[in-house]
């Protein structure tokens, strides 16, 4: 054998050795250096999660009546794996199921298509869940259908009929409370990514969202979503390359969500809704004295019943409204258009905490303390002419004549505007008129801010409105934002309007010129308007209820809230939602005492008298403090306001009702408020039976209901008397007294 | 050469043979035990892997979960017997039977191309026999080729003389026929292995260097032209494309490559444990008991097990190389060198494709993959090498 052969063999051996070395090197990289990446890829490959949704907690009223609960529904589901196993892709199976549940084949078939897969219809017709989740095709199956499916297992492979929880808003005693409860909606991709981002970083988030979850979209359902939702059960399955299940890795049971106890009383809520509807009917049935005898539009309205000590909302209603159950299981396009459209005047908007309206004379509860701050004594007498001249222009008393020189008390009782024009205008002049000294604080706008107007109250519901205080700063800001428009219009005029209505065009041109030149100016007229709650200043009915609660409870500006407590499904208290107060209003006790007496006088002798007299309300047994308001809105009918609290001597509730384009306060809203008080204090005829009141005792429910582990609720004792209630003035912690002028 | 060209196989009565084999200088004592033990160890690991790889599918279909394992053990036993037989008679006698072996293998390869043949995994390489058996003639052809080439190139030159051009040409022509037949199946993987084998034998035979270099350059040219002209089937090209860019077609060919690497990579250092690999038990890697069996080792036995397999292969190749070095004659050396190149390239190609450094071509991992023909051929070759080893100084 040649040396050459031997040499060649050595070369071959070196080559072989290098091949083996290459293999080892690559293996080292794959299995040691890059192993983690491949490991996670393998996990993704070989495991699938099955989600069992947790039963959502109930929303209960103050006495434990469910405002939102879960109805058990028979849900028929089809396993996608079973469909794929069929030779025809499961068409035949789906057809059989469709026949049994009595739905058209196409609808059921569409429901089994994964959203986003080829040939699938768009949401909500397609299935939005994971491919490994059984697909629910109906939640309205009856026992008969379920039996047919369960008894013929061989005809229905992979089809199940199971009891599942479906949200339901039962409307106890007729209470609708749609705007407060809100609704649920399927989770979106963005929310999924956002909420689950934490878990990927290794942080175990208790409330991680799953694709099939529904989450609160508005109202209490959204505000307390994390409490109500619970934790879904997750079963991790191992699957093979075809997706067939080969075993279970881990399983966690679903943990039902906690219950939310609210301050709402279903009976009062139902009555408030009923009385609001009554007020609107009343308004529509009577003519508007300013507009001939045309019926009033009464396009919308709201009512708020608030616990004056805690700010707890006992009832809050808005009209128009809708049935919250239309959201369950996905809202139809038709219904969605109906409740969000202009045609029905946006029933999804709550006028109570989202609607902004000029508060009109109910605002005098704010203006009066402001006037006192400005130096006008409550013990003085003031001239109440029919009209008051401001810078040469006469501003009239609305709906009122002149009363001559009257004591301040009577100015409140008869709601004399001209007295307040005088206070505001003189104060404005003293402060320098159009060009005030720097740092000057207008007592009227400052008082409005101190009463919490112009910004949201902090109610525990999403999307609350701020309202607006049209003070100097606002006017300047508004002018800056609009002056380009007005200055352009001041040059071009309104030719398109002029063709039809030359007078109006001339008026608009004049307005544009003024706005362009000195729209920033806070005029004497603005100040006068502000004092009687007119002009550009707006508030929500909720804000006004809070103002009257502050007057009633001795000067604490409470933070309105609906959430009362969170309880576990087993009925254990998780936490109480403590009432909060924002501040003490800067009004002296003597002024408040005087104001309360004056407001009581309004009911007994003034503009608030009519509704209670007509309702034959026993004011002697149950005195009520009220203030009416009739707001003028340019181009619209007047806004009817009725603000009140009762009992006037030991206040429990503040009740505010508002009807947009509803006429006068006492004519439209007043009678409804009087009726509402009859429910709140158990009044029949001339008798006040507090035990028959709703809630019992004539005061807000203070004890929590008892919730059993099975979801049953025991109402707190009903015969509580007022004595059972902690009487020590405001249950709130004392607040630092601010400049108690 | 005391043993000449006998027309009948050399057989001895068992009793006599054992006593003769057990003598101080008897064949048993001269056996390459390291080689044998490495082969047995690798085969044992192969049993475990085949079991783990086939169990889930058998369980799913309700069959005996050990069915494949049992058949595999039978295959190994048959193969060991074949190897034993191949080691008993003096290998130099083989020269006489080389033409017969060659013609038999040619016959088998031709039969595959007739209606007798069957297609598995895109290769028309099998002959299905009754009772669930099947034969892959190309595996046996490797053995026949090694022996035949060695004979042609070693003939007349056991003296210090290198093969002449004419001998090389003859050898190439000799190899060309089965190569062409395998190419017709088409079984690209086997073609590559056979090419490596032929090249190795020619190189070690001491043939002029121009032949060695010329063959390497020629192979590259042929490969380039084949790809350009389109001789290769689409699925074969796809496999190459998937090699360059596994992400290109994650549901098609790239799927194999990707899943194989996930399986091996997820094994980590110590592996998931036998029967506990999610990828393996979920059957994510196709052909995991045959061509992709290394993924089972990678996932369930981890780097320790996978590297262990590579090391055992290394021991086998080292012993084979030693046998080649120490062979008494050029024929023995060429047989050993041919087997060395065959095993080395086939192992590299097989493991390489599972870890993404070689394109996917269907070749089994020697001694590990499930498959009778391959196992028989491998063990036959080991028997021959033991034969060469044992008869060094007789």
pLDDT at residue B373 in the model: 92
pLDDT at residue A399 in the model: 60
Higher pLDDT, A122 or B83: B83
Q: Across the interface, do B333 and A11 touch by the CB < 8 Å criterion?
A: no
Residues recorded for chain A: 741
Percent of chain A with pLDDT over 90: 44
Pick from A8, A17, A29, A31 the residue to mutate for testing the B interface (most B CBs within 10 Å).
A31
Q: Across the interface, do A45 and B321 touch by the CB < 8 Å criterion?
A: no
End-to-end alpha carbon distance in chain B? 10
Would you say residue B339 has pLDDT above 50? Answer: yes
Q: Render pLDDT for A151-164 as a digit per residue (tens, 0 to 9).
A: 887 788 888 887 77
Q: Render pLDDT for A347-360 as a digit per residue (tens, 0 to 9).
A: 999 999 999 999 99
The 3-state secondary structure of chain B, one letter per residue: CCCCCCCCCCCCCHHHHHHHHCCCCCHHHHCCHHHHHHHHHHHHHHHHHHHHHHHHHHHHCCCCCCHHHHHHHHHHHHHHHHHHHHHHCCHHHHHHHHHHHHHHHHHHHHHHHCCCEEEECCEEEEEECCCCCEECHHHHHHHHHHHHHHHHHHCCCCCCCCCCHHHHHHHHHHHHHHHHHHHHCCCHHHHHHHHHHHHHHHHHCCCCHHHHHHHHHHHHHHHHHHHHHCCCCHHHHHHHHHHHCHHHCCCCHHHHHHHHHHHHHHCCCCCCCCCCCHHHHCCCCCCCCCCCHHHHHHHHHHHHHHHHHHHHHHHHHHHHHHHHHHCCCHHHHHHHHHHHHHHHHHHHHHHHHHCCCCCCCCCCCCCCCCCHHHHHHHHHHHHHHHHHHHCCCC
Report yes or no on B237 lying in a domain: yes
Q: Across the interface, do A31 and B302 touch by the CB < 8 Å criterion?
A: yes
CA-closest candidate to residue A371, choices A438, A436, A448, A437: A448
Q: Across the interface, do A32 and B355 touch by the CB < 8 Å criterion?
A: no
Structure tokens at A365: 């509860």
Strands A59-60 and A259-262: parallel
Report yes or no on B27 lying in a domain: no
CB B168 within 8 Å of CB B150: no
Tokens 């199976």 correspond to: A93
pLDDT at residue A497 in the model: 81
Report d(CA B337, CA B380) in Å as an integer. 15
Which pLDDT band holds residue B159 (cuts at 50, 70, 90)?
Answer: low
> Which residues of chain A lie closer than 8 angstroms to B351, CB-CB?
23
- Considering only CB atoms, A5 lies closest to which of B204, B310, B351, namely B204
Lowest mean pLDDT of A12-21, A51-60, A272-281, A606-615, name the range.
A51-60
Residues recorded for chain B: 394
Mean pLDDT for A88-116 is 85
Which pLDDT band holds residue A739 (cuts at 50, 70, 90)?
Answer: very low
Q: Render pLDDT for B220-242 as a digit per residue (tens, 0 to 9).
A: 888 788 777 766 667 777 766 66
- Within 124-153 of B, beta carbons closer than 8 Å to A belong to none
Region of residue A175 (left: phi > 0; alpha: psi -120 to 50; beta: else): beta
Report yes or no on B213 lying in a domain: yes
The counts of H helices and E strands in chain B are: 16, 3
Q: Across the interface, do A26 and B298 touch by the CB < 8 Å criterion?
A: no
Is the C-alpha dihedral spanning A119, A121, A126, A130 positive or negative?
A: positive
Report d(CA A469, CA A475) in Å as an integer. 10
Domains in chain A (CATH in brackets) are 48-257 (3.90.1310.10), 266-321+350-360+536-724 (3.40.710.10), 364-447+460-530 (no CATH)
| Local structure of A311: helix, strand or coil | coil
pLDDT at residue A211 in the model: 64
Q: Render pLDDT for B33-49 as a digit per residue (tens, 0 to 9).
A: 999 999 999 999 999 99
> Which residues of chain B lie closer than 8 angstroms to A236, CB-CB?
none
Residues with Cβ within 8 Å of residue A61, at least 6 apart in sequence: A67, A172, A175, A261, A262, A264, A265, A266, A269
- Please name the residue of chain A whose CA is at the shortest distance from the CA of residue B311: A20
Report d(CA B144, CA B99) in Å as an integer. 8
Mean pLDDT for A218-243 is 84
Tokens 């279909």 correspond to: B61
Lowest mean pLDDT of A24-28, A127-131, A142-146, B89-93, name the range.
A127-131
pLDDT at residue B364 in the model: 94
Would you say residue B19 has pLDDT above 80? Answer: no
Residues with Cβ within 8 Å of residue A272, at least 6 apart in sequence: A303, A305, A315, A316, A317, A676
- Alpha-carbon distance B342 to nearest alpha carbon in chain A (angstroms): 11
Report residue B139 CA to chain centroid gap. 7
Structure tokens at A615: 């309702």
Which pLDDT band holds residue B13 (cuts at 50, 70, 90)?
Answer: very low
**Is B269 touching A (CB cutoff 8 A)?**
yes
Would you say residue A737 has pLDDT above 60? Answer: no
- Within 94-123 of B, beta carbons closer than 8 Å to A belong to none
Pick from A17, A19, A21, A34 the residue to mutate for testing the B interface (most B CBs within 10 Å).
A19
> Which residues of chain B lie closer than 8 angstroms to A8, CB-CB?
203-204, 206, 212
**Is B307 touching A (CB cutoff 8 A)?**
yes
Would you say residue B371 has pLDDT above 50? Answer: yes
pLDDT at residue A721 in the model: 41
Per the structure, the complete domain to which residue B150 belongs is given by 32-390
Q: Number of Cβ pairs closer than 8 Å across A and B?
A: 149
Q: Across the interface, do A238 and B56 touch by the CB < 8 Å criterion?
A: no
> Which residues of chain A lie closer than 8 angstroms to B317, CB-CB?
16, 20
- Alpha-carbon distance A20 to nearest alpha carbon in chain B (angstroms): 7
> Which residues of chain B lie closer than 8 angstroms to A27, CB-CB?
264, 298, 303, 306-307, 310, 355
Q: Render pLDDT for A283-316 as a digit per residue (tens, 0 to 9).
A: 888 655 455 445 788 899 999 999 999 999 999 9
Would you say residue B81 has pLDDT above 60? Answer: yes
CB B127 within 8 Å of CB B114: no
Q: What is the DSSP string of A122-165?
A: PTTTSB-S-TTSPEEEEEEE-HHHHHHHHHTGGGSTTEEEEEEE
> Which residues of chain B lie closer than 8 angstroms to A38, CB-CB?
261-262, 264-266
- Considering only CB atoms, A34 lies closest to which of B212, B265, B351, namely B265
Mean pLDDT for A250-255 is 83
CB B149 within 8 Å of CB B95: no
Quote the ipTM score.
0.90
Q: Across the interface, do B265 and A47 touch by the CB < 8 Å criterion?
A: no
Would you say residue B151 has pLDDT above 70? Answer: yes
Report yes or no on B20 lying in a domain: no
Report yes or no on B153 lying in a domain: yes
Tokens 């992709």 correspond to: B292
Q: Render pLDDT for B296-323 as a digit per residue (tens, 0 to 9).
A: 999 999 999 999 999 999 999 999 999 9
**Is A200 touching B (CB cutoff 8 A)?**
no
- Considering only CB atoms, B337 lies closest to which of A12, A19, A23, namely A12
Report d(CA B233, CA B240) in Å as an integer. 11
Residue A327 per-residue DSSP state: G
Report d(CA A398, CA A416) in Å as an integer. 8
Phi, psi of A323 (to 5 degrees): -85, 115
Largest CA distance in chain A: 141
Higher pLDDT, A68 or B238: A68
CA-closest candidate to residue A361, choices A419, A283, A309: A419
Count of CA atoms in the C-beta half-sphere (13 A) of A424: 32
pLDDT at residue A521 in the model: 86
Reported pTM: 0.68
Please classify residue A368 by burial: count the beta carbons closer than 10 Å to its beta carbon, then call 0-12 exposed, 13-18 middle and 19+ buried.
buried
Which pLDDT band holds residue A717 (cuts at 50, 70, 90)?
Answer: low
pLDDT at residue A112 in the model: 84
**Is B203 touching A (CB cutoff 8 A)?**
yes
Q: Render pLDDT for A362-397 as a digit per residue (tens, 0 to 9).
A: 999 999 999 999 999 999 999 999 889 887 788 888
**In angstroms, what CA-CA distances link A71 with A164, A211, A259, B87?**
8, 22, 15, 81
Q: Render pLDDT for B192-228 as a digit per residue (tens, 0 to 9).
A: 999 999 999 999 988 888 989 999 998 888 878 877 7
Q: Across the interface, do A26 and B303 touch by the CB < 8 Å criterion?
A: no
- Please name the residue of chain A whose CA is at the shortest distance from the CA of residue B264: A31
> Which residues of chain B lie closer than 8 angstroms to A245, CB-CB?
none
Report yes or no on B12 lying in a domain: no
Which pLDDT band holds residue A734 (cuts at 50, 70, 90)?
Answer: very low
**Is B306 touching A (CB cutoff 8 A)?**
yes
**Is A26 touching B (CB cutoff 8 A)?**
yes
pLDDT at residue B24 in the model: 60
Report yes or no on B24 lying in a domain: no
**Is B325 touching A (CB cutoff 8 A)?**
yes
> Which residues of chain B lie closer than 8 angstroms to A13, CB-CB?
321, 340
Q: Across the interface, do B204 and A12 touch by the CB < 8 Å criterion?
A: yes
Mean pLDDT for A19-48 is 88
Sheet containing B134-135: give its strands across.
Answer: B117-120, B123-128, B134-135
pLDDT at residue A711 in the model: 67
Report d(CA B119, CA B187) in Å as an integer. 10
Packing angle of the helix pair B137-154, B188-204 (nearest 10 deg)? 20
pLDDT at residue A741 in the model: 32
Pick from A5, A25, A236, A240 the residue to mutate for testing the B interface (most B CBs within 10 Å).
A5
Q: Across the interface, do B303 and A31 touch by the CB < 8 Å criterion?
A: yes
- Within 29-58 of A, beta carbons closer than 8 Å to B belong to 30-32, 34-35, 37-39, 41-43, 45-47
pLDDT at residue B379 in the model: 95
CB atoms within 10 A of CB B334: 32
- Please name the residue of chain A whose CA is at the shortest distance from the CA of residue B206: A5
Report d(CA A657, CA A298) in Å as an integer. 13
Which pLDDT band holds residue B385 (cuts at 50, 70, 90)?
Answer: very high
Report yes or no on B2 lying in a domain: no
The mean pLDDT of chain B is 84
The mean pLDDT of chain A is 85
Highest mean pLDDT, choosing among A213-227, A443-457, B53-67, B89-103: A443-457
**Is B298 touching A (CB cutoff 8 A)?**
yes
pLDDT at residue A685 in the model: 85
CA-closest candidate to residue A556, choices A694, A330, A733: A733
Helix (H), strand (E) at residue A232? none
Structural domain count, chain B? 1
Q: Across the interface, do B283 and A39 touch by the CB < 8 Å criterion?
A: no
> Which residues of chain A lie closer than 8 angstroms to B321, CB-CB?
9, 12-13, 16
Would you say residue B160 has pLDDT above 60? Answer: no
pLDDT at residue B135 in the model: 86
pLDDT at residue A727 in the model: 35
Structure tokens at B278: 């999610």
């Amino acid at each position: 054998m040649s040396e050459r052969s031997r040499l060649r063999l050595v070369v071959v051996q070196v080559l072989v050795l290098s091949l083996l070395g290459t293999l080892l090197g690559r293996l080292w990289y794959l299995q040691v250096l890059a192993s983690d990446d491949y490991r996670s890829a393998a996990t993704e490959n070989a495991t699938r999660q099955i989600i069992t949704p947790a039963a959502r907690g109930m929303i209960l009223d103050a006495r434990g009546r469910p405002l939102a609960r879960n109805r058990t529904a028979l849900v028929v589901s089809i396993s996608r794996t079973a469909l794929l196993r069929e030779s025809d892709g499961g068409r035949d199976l789906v057809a059989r199921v469709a026949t049994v549940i009595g739905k058209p084949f196409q609808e059921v078939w569409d429901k089994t298509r994964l959203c986003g897969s080829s040939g699938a219809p768009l949401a909500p017709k397609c299935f939005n869940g994971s491919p490994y989740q059984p697909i629910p095709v109906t939640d309205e199956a009856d026992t008969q259908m379920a039996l047919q499916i369960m008894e013929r297992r061989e005809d229905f492979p992979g089809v199940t009929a199971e009891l599942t929880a479906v949200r339901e808003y039962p409307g106890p005693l007729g209470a609708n409370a749609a705007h407060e409860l809100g609704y649920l909606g399927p989770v979106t991709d963005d929310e999924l990514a956002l909420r689950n981002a934490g878990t990927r970083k290794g942080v175990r988030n208790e409330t991680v969202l799953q694709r099939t979850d529904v989450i609160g979209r508005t109202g209490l359902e959204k505000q307390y979503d994390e409490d109500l939702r619970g934790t879904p059960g997750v079963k991790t399955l191992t699957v093979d390359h075809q997706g067939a299940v080969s075993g279970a890795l881990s399983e966690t049971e679903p943990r039902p969500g906690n219950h939310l106890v609210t301050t709402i009383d279903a009976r009062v809520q139902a009555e408030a809704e009923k009385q609001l509807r009554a007020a609107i009917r009343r308004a529509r049935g009577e003519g508007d004295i300013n507009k001939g005898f045309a019926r009033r539009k009464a396009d919308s309205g709201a009512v708020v019943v608030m616990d004056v000590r805690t700010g707890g909302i006992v009832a809050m209603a808005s009209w128009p409204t809708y049935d919250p159950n239309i959201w369950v299981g996905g809202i139809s396009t038709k219904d969605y258009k109906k409740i969000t459209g202009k045609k029905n005047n946006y029933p999804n908007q709550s006028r109570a905490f989202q609607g902004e309206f000029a508060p009109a004379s109910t605002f005098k509860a704010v203006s009066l303390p402001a006037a006192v701050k400005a130096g006008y004594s409550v013990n003085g007498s003031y001239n109440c002419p029919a009209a008051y001249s401001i810078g040469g222009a006469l501003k009239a008393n609305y709906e009122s004549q002149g009363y001559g020189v009257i004591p301040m008390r009577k100015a409140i009782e008869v709601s004399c505007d001209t007295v307040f024009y005088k206070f505001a205008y003189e104060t404005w002049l003293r402060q320098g008129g159009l060009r005030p000294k720097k740092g000057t604080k207008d007592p009227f706008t400052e008082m409005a801010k101190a009463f919490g107007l112009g910004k949201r109250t902090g109610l525990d519901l999403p999307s609350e409105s701020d309202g607006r205080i049209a003070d100097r700063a606002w006017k300047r800001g508004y002018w800056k934002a609009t002056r380009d428009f007005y200055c352009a219009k001041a040059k071009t005029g309104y030719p398109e309007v002029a063709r039809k209505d030359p007078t109006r065009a001339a008026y608009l041109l004049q307005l544009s010129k003024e706005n362009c030149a000195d729209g920033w100016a806070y005029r004497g007229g603005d100040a006068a308007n502000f004092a009687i709650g007119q002009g550009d200043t707006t508030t929500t009915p909720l804000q006004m209820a809070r103002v009257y609660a502050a007057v009633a409870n001795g000067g604490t500006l409470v933070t309105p809230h609906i959430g009362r407590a969170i309880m576990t499904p087993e009925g254990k208290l998780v936490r109480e939602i403590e009432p909060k107060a924002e501040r003490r209003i800067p009004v002296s006790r003597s002024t408040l005492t005087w104001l309360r007496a004056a407001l009581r006088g309004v009911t007994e002798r003034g503009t608030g008298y009519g509704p209670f007299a007509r309702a034959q309300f026993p004011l002697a047994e149950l005195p009520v403090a009220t203030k009416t308001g009739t707001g003028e809105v340019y181009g619209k009918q007047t806004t009817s306001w009725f603000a009140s609290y009762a009992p006037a001597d030991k206040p429990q509730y503040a009740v505010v009702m508002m009807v947009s384009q509803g006429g006068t306060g006492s004519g439209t809203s007043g009678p409804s408020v009087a009726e509402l008080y009859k429910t709140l204090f158990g009044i029949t005829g001339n008798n006040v039976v507090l035990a028959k009141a709703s809630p019992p005792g004539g005061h807000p429910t203070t004890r929590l209901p008892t919730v059993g582990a099975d979801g049953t609720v025991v109402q707190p004792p009903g015969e509580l008397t007022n004595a059972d209630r902690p009487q020590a003035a405001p249950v709130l912690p004392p607040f630092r007294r601010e400049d108690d002028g | 050469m005391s043993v000449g060209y006998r027309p009948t196989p050399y057989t001895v009565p068992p009793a006599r043979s054992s006593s003769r084999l057990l003598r101080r200088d008897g064949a048993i004592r001269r056996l390459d035990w390291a080689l044998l033990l490495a082969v047995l160890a690798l085969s044992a690991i192969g049993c475990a892997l085949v079991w783990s790889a086939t169990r889930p599918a058998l369980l799913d279909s309700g069959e005996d979960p050990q069915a494949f394992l049992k058949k595999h053990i039978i295959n190994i036993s048959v193969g060991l017997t074949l190897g034993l037989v191949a080691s008993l008679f003096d290998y130099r006698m083989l020269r006489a039977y080389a033409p017969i072996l060659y013609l038999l293998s040619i016959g088998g390869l031709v039969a595959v191309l007739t209606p007798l043949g069957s297609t598995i995994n895109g290769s028309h390489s099998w002959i299905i026999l009754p009772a669930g058996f099947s034969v892959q003639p190309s595996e046996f052809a490797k053995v026949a080729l090694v022996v035949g080439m060695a004979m042609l190139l070693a003939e007349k030159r056991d003296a210090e003389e290198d093969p002449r051009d004419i001998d090389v040409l003859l050898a190439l022509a000799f190899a060309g026929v089965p190569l062409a037949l395998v190419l017709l199946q088409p079984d690209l993987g086997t073609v590559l292995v056979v090419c490596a084998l032929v090249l190795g034998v020619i190189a070690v035979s001491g043939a002029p260097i121009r032949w060695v270099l010329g063959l390497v350059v020629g192979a590259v040219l042929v490969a380039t032209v084949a790809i350009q002209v389109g001789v290769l089937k689409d699925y074969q090209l796809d496999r190459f494309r998937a090699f360059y860019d596994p992400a290109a077609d994650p549901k098609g060919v790239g799927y194999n490559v990707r899943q194989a690497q996930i399986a091996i990579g997820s094994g980590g250092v110590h592996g998931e444990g036998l029967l506990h690999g999610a990828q393996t038990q979920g059957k994510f890697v196709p052909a995991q008991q045959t061509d992709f069996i290394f993924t089972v080792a990678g996932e369930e036995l981890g780097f320790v097990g996978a590297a262990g397999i590579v090391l055992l292969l290394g021991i086998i190749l080292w012993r084979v190389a030693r046998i080649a070095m120490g062979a008494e004659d050029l024929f023995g050396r060429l047989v050993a060198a041919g087997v060395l190149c065959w095993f080395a390239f086939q192992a590299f190609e097989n493991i390489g494709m599972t870890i993404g450094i070689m394109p996917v071509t269907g070749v089994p991992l020697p001694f590990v993959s499930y498959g009778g023909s391959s196992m028989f051929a491998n063990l036959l070759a080991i028997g021959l090498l033991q034969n060469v080893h044992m008869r060094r100084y007789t």
